Amino acid sequence: MNAIIANRLFKSFEKGKIKALEDISFEVKQSELFGLIGPDGAGKTTLFRILATLLLAESGEASVDSLDVKKDYKAIRKRVGYMPGKFSLYQDLSVEENLNFFAHVFGTTIEQNYHLIKDIYQQLEPFKTRKAGKLSGGMKQKLALCCALIHEPSVLFLDEPTTGVDPVSRKEFWEMLKYLKSEGITILVSTPYMDEASLCDRVALMQKGKILDIDTPEGIIEKYPKKIWSIHASNMYALLQVARAFPNTHTCFGFGESHHLTLKNDEKDYEDFCNYVQKHYKEPFQIQEITATIEDCFMALS
Ligand SMILES: Nc1ncnc2c1ncn2[C@@H]1O[C@H](COP(=O)(O)OP(=O)(O)OP(=O)(O)O)[C@@H](O)[C@H]1O
């Protein structure tokens, strides 16, 4: 069964000048961990706001748990946990006060749904009297997740929950999401970090209000259309200049500690490329065929 359906959603701002969403359609199955992957301005927040019934689309339909976002907005709000990207907590309230506040709004108590938040809450408990504004980034995100879960939602909307969070907390956060999924909760999560795509069941790659592709992370990688190589040398900048000057270079981008290279005619150009670099870069360099990452796929699609 589909827990979320978006069908041909359009939304623009400033009298149509900014097209935030253009023909967005996708479905998320029950208990699926579905990622919206895309850079700033892709339209992720706008999409969350429409699905969370906080904003109306110009056209198109959407439903959450088979309820219509327009007609049934009150019922949807009771079933959905929404963690907005911009901070959702009351900075001057303590950890415990924030949780109690959200529980009270939804007519429940911390005790009633403790099983869902137990693992995260135990990490927060030593700081329960600390004001939310004084927590670290990772702790704030954990508290915000607890607050979004307090009424035992069937669907969770998490807008960039790991942005600005340290790598250890990011890892813990994703482990928590896996647990929540195993509890039957459907999760729609957005992230600008391409490496987090592999942690989702399926992802939609988004850019400038459009969906470029929807698939499992493995499916997206399998569809990558070209051979790809990683190149490395002591002077990475000079290597990039030379690699880009080779007439049959298709793309060459800096990628962490190496550059990722594609050639117009794939392996047919490989030898000529190596000879060209040897001639113009003059110093030793390493080249190795690799499997594309989600980021490579994103670049190829955009
Ligand atoms: N209320 C608004 N008024 C005008 N433009 C808006 C409004 N909300 C969003 N936009 C614009 O719509 C586009 C999509 O924005 P959105 O916030 O949905 O993207 P995003 O993928 O969530 O990126 P970010 O992480 O920057 O929020 C952007 O160009 C943004 O500037």
- Does the beta carbon of 19 sit less than 6 angstroms from any atom of ligand 1? no
Of the candidates 264, 263, 244, the residue with the CA atom closest to the CA atom of residue 253: 244
Whose alpha carbon is nearest atom 29 of ligand 1? 41
Query: Domain 2-216 in CATH: superfamily?
Result: P-loop containing nucleotide triphosphate hydrolases (3.40.50.300)
Whose alpha carbon is nearest atom 5 of ligand 1? 13
Of the candidates 298, 297, 299, the residue with the CA atom closest to the CA atom of residue 224: 297
Whose alpha carbon is nearest atom 18 of ligand 1? 43
d(CA 218, CA 202): 9
Q: Report the percentage of the chain scoring pLDDT > 70.
A: 100
Whose alpha carbon is nearest atom 25 of ligand 1? 40
Residue 39 CA: nearest ligand 1 atom is: 21
Give 22 Cα–ligand 1 centroid separation in angstroms. 13
Per residue in 181-213, pLDDT (tens digit) is: 999 999 999 998 888 999 999 999 999 999 999
What is the pLDDT at residue 137? 85
Of the candidates 158, 152, 153, 126, the residue with the CA atom closest to the CA atom of residue 139: 126
Give 182 Cα–ligand 1 centroid separation in angstroms. 32
What is the pLDDT at residue 22? 97
Residue 21 CA: nearest ligand 1 atom is: 14
What is the pLDDT at residue 87? 67
Distances in Å between the alpha carbon of 202 and those of 52, 115, 181, 261?
A: 20, 27, 13, 26
- Which of 45, 208, 210 for mutating ligand 1's site (highest number of atoms within 8 Å of CB)? 45
Per residue in 246-300, pLDDT (tens digit) is: 999 999 999 989 999 999 999 999 999 999 999 999 999 999 999 999 999 999 9
Task: Provide mean pLDDT across the span 81-88.
Answer: 82
- Which of 9, 37, 46, 211 for mutating ligand 1's site (highest number of atoms within 8 Å of CB)? 46
Question: Domain residues of the chain, as ranges?
Answer: 2-216, 228-301
Task: Provide mean pLDDT across the span 22-37.
Answer: 97
Whose alpha carbon is nearest atom 31 of ligand 1? 41
Give 40 Cα–ligand 1 centroid separation in angstroms. 8
Task: Provide mean pLDDT across the span 125-147.
Answer: 91
Q: Rounded to a whole number, what is the distance in angstroms from the first to the last CA of the chain?
A: 31
Whose alpha carbon is nearest atom 3 of ligand 1? 13
Give 60 Cα–ligand 1 centroid separation in angstroms. 19
Candidates 1.10.287, 1.10.3470, 3.30.70, 3.40.50; correct CATH number of 228-301? Answer: 3.30.70
- Does the beta carbon of 54 sit less than 6 angstroms from any atom of ligand 1? no
Average pLDDT, the chain: 94
Task: Provide mean pLDDT across the span 72-84.
Answer: 93
Question: Can you tell me which residue has the tokens 């439903």?
Answer: 63
155 has a pLDDT exceeding 70: yes
Residue 209 CA: nearest ligand 1 atom is: 14
| Contact present, 297 and 218 (Cβ < 8 Å) | no
Cα 178-199-228 angle, rounded to 5 deg: 170
**Torsion of the alpha carbons at 116, 119, 121 and 125, rounded to the nearest 10:** 150
86 has a pLDDT exceeding 80: no
| Residues 6 or more apart whose Cβ sits within 8 Å of residue 167 | none
